[in-house]
Amino acid sequence: MTMEGIICAQTHSRRLRIGIAVLALAVVGFVFTGWSALAASTENKAIKVSIVNFQFTPAEVTIAPGESVTWVNDDGAPHGLEYHDGSSGKDLLLPGASYNRRFDQPGTYDYNCSVHPYMMGRVIVRAR
């Protein structure tokens, strides 16, 4: 084999190794992206309830078991959450703060603001 042939073979071998490495990275990236998308699709979504103008907006939300509700205090005053079923809530939610609760069991969960009891809301958890 000539020197030119050896150099050509080495170049071809190097290109082949680079191509295989790029392909392997692409496969790993695709698998990781696919798994991330699958995890995101099965991840529990959170419904937002805004506390603004001394009311819960929306006042009633409907979710599936295993989903969460996030309350965000978008008001200028402190608020809190207390549940009528005796579940623990949040005593004080300062402006800009948030509170999240996951609901695993179907049912109706009524709540009110612990600071302003006339502010009321409801979470309905429907069986799948």
**Among 57, 55, 67, CA closest to 113:** 55
The average pLDDT across 13-37 equals 53
Residue spans of the domains in the chain: they are: 1-43, 46-125
Class of domain 46-125 as given by CATH: mainly beta
Q: Is the peptide bond before 117 cis (omega within 30 degrees of 0)?
A: no
What is the share, in percent, of the chain residues with pLDDT greater than 70? 66
Mean pLDDT of the chain: 81
pTM for this structure? 0.66
Judged against a pLDDT cut of 70, whether residue 29 lies above it is answered with no
Q: Match 């998308």 to its residue by tokens.
A: 37
